[in-house]
């Protein structure tokens, strides 16, 4: 939880009181699980509810890979330790806890009011994009699951053949392979390392990769690889080097890379903020 976030501090400074709970057993199935320990430090949003109800969390891996998104806090849930319970996308705020204000703790009520104040500045700001798939953080989850008797076969189907061969299907070796090549991971019928980007030595989320590819086209060098990468990471189709250069120069200061948006570069509108 980011306790420095404005929703905890303004206009009402909320002194958060923490307590400890047992770490949910199923959190051990995630890469972050072993480091959590037996107890979790938590902030209570509500007590026992008058009627059984369920909250809502969002996938935390890649939640904030768009510049209009903020991951503020997780919450105890049935999914995993990275799931988002408090977060923002554009002018939408996810308050994932199910309790109505009348059942919230006094602290939570004050944070809820702060949240309403905070969100006023985003009135009319539409989200930049929609989720199209999972972020590369999930590759490490599947690597972890390679060592789970119940999930290993499912996990193996989530990787490319070359990655399985290089790691031998071993969870630790796979995690190490992924970590060494984190900037080159993508999802293409399974988690795989982009050998084209690796050959150029530039991460697929680095705008310098697009610059290099356009330059290669202009020089007439490694043309096929350059075009593959440009098409793969922009979703665009332009006729020649001059057209690609115009496209890139018009957007280079506004580009951002999104895993969850489809492993592509997108450009913020000139009027978008944050």
Average pLDDT, the chain: 95
Q: How confident is the model at residue 42 (pLDDT cuts 50, 70, 90)?
A: very high
Asked if pLDDT for residue 272 goes beyond 60, the answer is no
Could you report the per-residue pLDDT of 163-217, keeping only the tens digit for each? 999 999 999 999 999 999 999 999 999 999 999 999 999 999 999 999 999 999 9
What average pLDDT does this structure show over 38-46? 95
Q: How confident is the model at residue 121 (pLDDT cuts 50, 70, 90)?
A: very high
Ranges of beta strands (E only) in the chain are: 18-22, 39-43, 69-73, 86-89, 92-95, 185-187, 191-193, 255-258, 264-267
pTM for the structure as a whole: 0.92
Per-residue pLDDT, 16: 96
Which of 185, 243, 45, 125 has its CA nearest to residue 230? 243
Q: Considering just the CA atoms, what is the radius of gyration of the chain in Å?
A: 22
Percent of the chain scoring above 70 in pLDDT? 98
Residue 81 has a CB neighbour count (10 Å cut-off) of 21
Asked if pLDDT for residue 107 goes beyond 70, the answer is yes
Q: At residue 170, what are phi and psi to the nearest 5 degrees?
A: -85, 130
Sort 141 into a burial class: Cβ within 10 Å, 0-12 / 13-18 / 19+: buried
């Amino acid at each position: 939880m980011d306790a420095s976030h404005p929703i905890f501090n303004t206009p009402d400074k909320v002194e958060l009181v923490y307590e400890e709970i047992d770490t949910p057993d199923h959190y051990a199935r995630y890469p972050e699980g072993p480091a959590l320990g037996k107890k979790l430090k938590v902030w209570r949003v509500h007590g026992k509810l008058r009627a059984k109800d369920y909250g809502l969390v969002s996938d935390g891996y890649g939640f904030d890979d768009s510049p209009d998104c903020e991951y503020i806090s997780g919450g105890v849930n049935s999914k995993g330790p990275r799931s988002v319970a408090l977060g923002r996308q554009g002018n939408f705020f996810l308050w994932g806890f199910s309790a109505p204000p009348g059942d919230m703790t006094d602290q939570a009520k004050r944070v809820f009011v702060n949240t309403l104040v905070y969100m006023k500045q985003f009135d009319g700001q539409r989200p930049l994009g929609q989720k199209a798939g999972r972020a590369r953080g999930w590759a490490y989850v599947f690597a972890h699951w390679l060592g789970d008797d119940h999930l290993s076969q499912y996990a193996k189907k989530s990787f490319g053949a070359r990655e399985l061969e290089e790691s031998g299907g071993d969870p630790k070796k796979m995690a190490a392979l992924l970590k060494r090549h984190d900037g080159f991971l993508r999802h293409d019928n399974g988690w795989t390392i982009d050998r084209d980007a690796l050959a150029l030595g530039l991460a697929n989320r680095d705008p310098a990769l697009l610059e290099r590819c356009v330059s290669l086209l202009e020089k007439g060098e490694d043309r096929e690889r350059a075009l593959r990468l440009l098409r793969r990471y922009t979703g665009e189709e332009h006729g020649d080097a001059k057209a690609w250069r115009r496209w890139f120069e018009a957007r280079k200061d506004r580009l951002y890379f999104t895993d969850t948006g489809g492993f592509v570069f997108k450009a913020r509108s000139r009027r978008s903020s944050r």
